Amino acid sequence: MGATATPRPAELAVAASGGRDSTALLHATLRAARPLGVRVHALHVHHGLHPQADTWQRQVRTQCRRWGAIFHATRLSGAPAPAESVEAWARRERYAALATMARAAGCDIVLLAHHRRDQAETVLLQLLRGGGARGLAAMPADAKRGGLRWLRPWRDQPREAIEAYLRQHRLRWVDDPGNDDGRYARNRLQQVVWPALTDAFPQAEAALAQAAARAAEEAAALREFVAQDAAACADGDALRVAAWRALSPARQALLLRHQVEVWSGRGVPGTLVRRLQAELPGAASGQWPAPGGRLVLRKGRLSYQRDPSGPGQHSD
């Protein structure tokens, strides 16, 4: 008889910045995974934005060696595009780096350490950016993107529970001084708005998280609804304007936003949607600037032409 092949152990990745929340999550994941024979990979992204970043990377590597996690690190290169915020650039590049490391490690699942206060803060930031149901849904607990599952197991847990876990296990973490930089919107929210809000409304965190859950349900229903309109109005890779005009104004706006996002892989400004609603019905032909390219109306069909200067970036 031939030798029986030993099954390869399951692989699981944790995004590990070295901060408070990800340190707790990495530790808890290792404790739960070890009895199950699951190998845990710690994915660390060096943003190159702070002088202490090398020290943080060494600390995470040392923790991984001591705790039994497999350490991976990537240093970001490049810089934000013109008019792009450092926050948006770092977030996009961080998720891309995490995905690359997870695939290289053979991991299908990446755990993220966001908690309930992060969720509540995201709802407020989306409100201030004029976000709709999808934006107000904030961060999903389970998302599939780029062939990976991104899980947030502590999304509905209060920050205080994580702090209690850190104290119980006497864990050390790094404090990013960038979290005190008032140039960044989330930092201003945490430092100025959040204390005043929770002082006046102690249940704000739980209420905002509940609002996000309801918004997620409504966003999912809207996606199903707009997919039906998209199928009814489609003409190959184009949109039949006559069929689109037969929809109500609200459905017209939803379909335009959906279709341009599908074409471009980018978010769609509300100003573009309103302009198209105003100008498309009376136009026989025309062109409109759009994210990453342009929209072209010809013979009753609205189509998208990508800018040859570069591909669109999918938003997370």
> Residues at the annotated binding site for ATP?
17-22
List the structure tokens of 224: 């199903």
DSSP 138-204: -S-SEEEETTEEEE-TTTTS-HHHHHHHHHHHT------GGGG-TTSHHHHIIIIIHHHHHHH-TTH
- Binding site, by residue number, is 17-22
CB contact set of 159 (below 8 Å; sequence gap of 6+): 21, 115, 116, 117
What pairing do the DSSP bridges indicate for beta strands 11-15 and 109-111? Answer: parallel
Partner residues linked to 150 by β-bridges = 110, 143
What pairing do the DSSP bridges indicate for beta strands 109-111 and 148-151? Answer: parallel
Find where tokens 């029986």 sit: 4
Strand, helix or coil at 77?
coil
Instruction: Please give the DSSP secondary-structure letter assigned to residue 106.
Output: T
Q: Which residues of 272-287 are buried (b: 16+ CB within 10 A; e: fewer)?
A: bbeebeeebeeeeeee
